[in-house]
A and B are shown apart, each in its own frame.
Chain A
Amino acid sequence: MKSRLLWLSFFSASLVLFLATATPCSAQIDHNMVSVTKTMTSNVEGRTGRAYDDGQLRPDVGVQLYRRYCVGCHGPLGNGEGENAMWFDPSLGFPKPRDFTAALFECRSTPTGTLPTDDDLFNAITRGFVTTNMPSWRALTVLERADLIAMVKSFSPRWEHEKAGTPITVPSEPTLNIDSILHGRELFDHMQCWKCHGFEGRGDGPSASTLTNDKGQPIPPYDFAVGTRFKCGSTNHDLYTIFMTGLDGTPMPSFADQIKPEEAWDLVHFLRTLQVSLQTPELTLFEQWEKAHPGQLKPMGQAPGTAP
């Protein structure tokens, strides 16, 4: 028993010594994260997320979660220069981590140039980004994701001075028919989408190799032929939103001022025919039409001013 007490004493003493000397290591969390606004909050599904101390039972929850899950890529400054950023090679199709200090986000429901809503950021965190190292964080609770959104927003002063944009209105999707698909194809040709995405949507258009994002890094156009989902979602609604809001920071512009809403749905229906790996209903319908109307499809890139 005496020996046991001796060892217990030793154990306790070493624990106290350890605590007294090692805990500043934990202070890295507070010392290294550089947020512009420490009072930033978010509101998602009726829950309020906080980046820093809420004075309640969840102290510094956003920053702690960011330290745990995000700092490796996005870095302690939120500028996308975490320790792993150097290993992401955009020329090989792995984009660099998002720079939160610029507050420039690709996936939004809001018009181009505006800040996304908290719901947009929530959807992005929940969904993750296909073909990147940003996973789906759906396994985290809603509140934890809300806390992380608050933390993301804390890195840029834009959130202090600007409000999020107003989400665009997405009209109901019209019934799918071949006319819609064929008109969408004409729009694809006329608006020269193929210059980046290629005639078959394989991301191999004549301009594809020259594209860069706002950081000057190479960025490949989306390859409809192999992708199982889009960067900003997987539904027709998501696809509509993508080209009506644009992907800020990338060469993909907003087409909100160039096409009408009903035309946008036609384009959605045509783009779905390019997803040959998924055999979508749109593709099935298109293939049936092609079979019944051999040789009637005009080649793309032939219209005046659209030659490759």
Chain B
Amino acid sequence: MVIRWLLKCKGARWSLLSSFLICAASIIVLVLTAQPAYTLPPLQKVSAVPAFARKYGLPCSACHTAWPELNYFGLAFRDRGFQLGNDRDSPIWQNPSYWPVTARMTPNWHWEQTTHQLTNTVTAAPGTTINQNGFDLSGMDLWLIGTLYKNISFSLLPTTDPTATWHFENAYVRFDNLAGSEWLNLKFGHFELDNIISEKRFLFLSNNGGLYQNYHFIPLGDSNNFGIGDNQSGVELQGHSANSYTRYTFAVLSSTEGGVNLTNSVTAPFVTAPAVTTNTGRTFDYWLSFTQGFQTPLGLQRIEPFFYWGQRPTIFNQTVGTPPVPIASTGTGNKPFYRVGVQSDLFLGKFELLPFFQHSEDNAYLANSLPANTPLTAGMQNAIWNGGFLEAHYYWNPQLVFLGRYELVRMQQQGDPSNAGTTGNINAYSVGFRWYPIMFSRAGLAWHTEYSITKSIGIVPLSLDGSNLLPATNTTPVWSSSVFAGFDFAF
């Protein structure tokens, strides 16, 4: 009732200022409680694109439920090759000074706590609790995206970590509406898999909440480093209906996990297995997904089954010398893995629900990091696990969204017989809100606050918080939590 009453108060211009004051007060409180900060992993997200808003004059909210997450109009715009189809999409129609670029970064304050950590002074169970906090920076996106010509689109996304070390998050050219059909669009380069629940565009930023556990989880001892949340290199054939309610995607991808120079040069920060090799094979992975939307009185409901099948090498050619250096793209002894699941985007009025389920299996050789020319020992078998999450957004209005997510990973079958049955199981919880004090067609600003906590059994938390060492036993539950507050801006 109080909130309803407050909502009714009119002409409350002071409230914008007071909101900033509250945010500032929050920061001051955080400062007063701050302790020395430690180096933390970078956040790597892609952005909303004010460049498009500037080009077409639409507010952020036209394409985003809350930026950077795309709504179904935004998804249709992306499916059309970032074109509105108004015969003015080609850059020749733009003012010569127009540059389709956007920059996004999130100065923030965050606090991390990780239990059961081993350090140089605490080397035995149960370990110690590590606390870290301080002001920090996210990584930065500098994203160029748009059309090269009518029906030829592109994306180039150089991204840095907070220390300004660059890599290409994505880079591709897309040929749209081939043969005049929206069912034939060809993308070539390095890009995100076509998940309707995009991790690159989601609304969580903290260390523990800022990733889908299921998109990156690998069982303990597994040499595979694939995650469906990782951008991949290859070619994608995509098609869609005029309203993008019906879509398909088929992609052929190098088995390099998105690495360049034919290596796994993407360091896969979320892998908790033993050291990741930089060698790769010459095989290809395959992605297939299908999306169908249904109109209901409460909004559009979409569902997307997906399937990914790939291989990773287990035998590596290396140079002569000490130490031997793997030779890129010469791996053999390829062993398969797959991910299959279903994801949905459901609307119940102002509620958006994002359920996700995935069943995963890695070959026994991958699961045990064993060369294919070595016999399996007793108990070694394929690693099988299931996972899922339910994410909920409540859009109070286009400028205020409340967030929550509950996520699970459960091992069904351990590949490595030395693992306990529960090793690798994860529970993750996140809540937060994003407030966009401004919402127009030139730039974006959001005040982001989030709390996340995960329980990972016997493994390093995927956030890499803490000492980044395995806990004392493979049944130790490691709790890792984050508090995050920051200004997320894009121009």
How far is A134 from B449 in the complex, measured between Cα atoms in Å? 35
B19 in contact with A25 (CB, 8 Å): yes
Bound CA–CA A10/B32 (angstroms): 13
Which chain B residue lies CB-closest to A71?
B59
Instruction: Tell me, yes or no, whether B22 is within 8 Å of chain A by CB.
Output: yes
At the interface, is chain B mostly helix, strand, loop or mixed? mixed
Q: Is the CB of B26 within 8 A of A27?
A: no
Q: Decide if B483 is an interface residue (CB 8 Å cutoff).
A: yes
Residues in A1-59 with C-beta less than 8 Å from chain B: 3-4, 7-8, 10-11, 14-15, 17-29, 31, 57-58
With A15-B433, A26-B7 in contact, is A138–B243 under 8 Å at CB?
yes
Whether a CB of chain B sits under 8 angstroms from the CB of A213 is no
Identify which of B69-77, B249-257, B258-266, B353-361 touches chain A.
Answer: B69-77
Inter-chain contact B396/A23, CB cutoff 8 Å: yes
Q: Given that A22-B15, A22-B400, A72-B440 are contacting pairs, would A131 and B73 also be in contact in the complex, using a CB cutoff of 8 Å?
A: no
Interface stretch of the complex, out of A80-88, A113-121, A237-245, A298-306: A80-88
In Å, the complex CA distance between A226 and B87 comes to: 9
Name, among A20, A25, A84, the residue most crowded by chain B CB atoms within 10 Å (CB to CB).
A25
A130 contacts B87, C-beta separation under 8 Å: yes
Alpha-carbon distance between A25 and B15 when the two chains are bound, in angstroms: 7
A67 within 8 A of B: yes
B396 contacts across to A, CB distance below 8 A: 23, 26
Contact B57 A73 (CB under 8 A): yes
Within 8 A of A (CB), among B45-83: 56-59, 61-62, 72-73, 75-77
Q: In this assembly, does A139 line the interface, its C-beta being within 8 Å of a C-beta of chain B?
A: yes
Determine the distance from Cα of A140 to Cα of B298 in the docked complex, in whole angstroms: 12
- Complex Cα–Cα for A27 and B8 (A): 7
Q: Is the CB of B398 within 8 A of A133?
A: no
The answer to whether the Cβ of B397 comes within 8 Å of any Cβ in the partner chain is: yes
Expressed in whole angstroms, the minimum distance between the Cβ of A223 and any Cβ of chain B is 10
Q: Which of B12, B131, B433, B481 contacts A18 (CB 8 A)?
A: B433
Within 8 A of B (CB), among A142-171: 142-144
Contacts of B296 in A (CB 8 A): 141
Question: Per a CB cutoff under 8 Å, which of B19, B300, B398, B399 touches A21?
Answer: B19
Which of A3, A19, A128, A132 interacts with B3 by CB under 8 Å? Answer: A19
* B15 touching A14, Cβ below 8 Å: no
> Bound complex: CA of A22 vs CA of B11, how far in Å?
13
* Complex: A73 Cα to B61 Cα, angstroms: 13
A227 at interface, CB cutoff 8 A? yes
Q: Is B467 an interface residue (CB 8 A)?
A: no
Question: Who on chain A is nearest to B58 by CB?
Answer: A72
User: B84 — nearest CB in chain A belongs to which residue?
Assistant: A135
In the complex, what residues of A have CB within 8 A of residue B72's CB? 139-140
Residue of A24, A141, A142 near B12 (CB, 8 A) is A24
Q: Residues of A contacting B62 with CB < 8 Å?
A: 68-69, 72
In whole angstroms, how far apart are the Cα atoms of A61 and B372 in the complex?
59
Contact (Cβ within 8 A) B10 A31: yes
Residue interface bits B74-105, CB-to-A below 8 A is 1, else 0: 01110000001111100000000000000000
Which of A27, A68, A133, A140 touches B86 (beta carbons < 8 Å)? A133
CB pair B399 A25 closer than 8 Å: yes
Name the one of B16, B435, B440 contacting A83, with C-beta atoms under 8 angstroms: B440
Q: Point out the residues of chain B lying under 8 angstroms from A87, CB to CB.
A: 57
Q: B86 near A128 (CB under 8 angstroms)? A: yes
Which residues from chain B contact A14 at a C-beta distance below 8 Å? 22, 26, 449
CB neighbours (8 Å) of B397 from chain A are: 26, 29, 64, 67
- Chain A's interface size range is 35 or more
Residues of B within 8 A of A72 (CB): 57-59, 62, 440-441
Is A255 located at the chain interface by the 8 A CB criterion? no
Q: Which one of A18, A136, A139 contacts B75 once the chains associate, using CB atoms below 8 Å?
A: A139
CB neighbours (8 Å) of A137 from chain B are 73
Residue numbers in B under 8 Å from A73 (CB-CB): 57-58
Bound form: Cα–Cα A74–B18 in Å: 30
Taking CB atoms, residues of chain B closer than 8 Å to A141 are 295-296, 299-300
Q: A67 to B61, Cβ gap below 8 A?
A: yes
Candidates B15, B22, B84, B300; contact of A136 at CB < 8 Å = B84
A20, B3: Cβ atoms closer than 8 Å: yes
Are A21 and B86 in contact, with the CB atoms below 8 A?
no
Q: Which residue of A lies closest to B348 (CB)?
A: A57
Contacts of B9 in A (CB 8 A): 24, 27
Q: Once the chains are docked, how many angstroms separate the CA of A24 from the CA of B6?
A: 7
Question: Can you offer 19 A-B residue contacts whose CB atoms are under 8 A?
Answer: A7-B451, A22-B400, A22-B435, A64-B397, A64-B398, A67-B61, A68-B398, A69-B58, A87-B57, A131-B86, A132-B86, A133-B57, A133-B88, A135-B56, A135-B84, A139-B243, A140-B72, A141-B296, A228-B87
Q: Give the interface of B toward A (CB within 8 A).
A: 2-3, 6-12, 15-16, 18-19, 22-23, 26, 29, 56-59, 61-62, 72-73, 75-77, 84-88, 111, 113, 131, 242-245, 295-300, 348-349, 396-400, 433, 435, 437, 440-441, 449, 451, 453, 481, 483
Instruction: Pick the 4 closest A-B CB pairs, nearest first.
Output: A24-B12, A84-B57, A139-B76, A22-B19
A-B contacts besides A26-B399, A133-B86, 16 pairs, CB < 8 Å: A4-B481, A7-B481, A18-B449, A20-B6, A23-B396, A24-B7, A25-B15, A25-B399, A68-B62, A73-B57, A130-B86, A132-B86, A133-B57, A135-B56, A141-B299, A227-B87
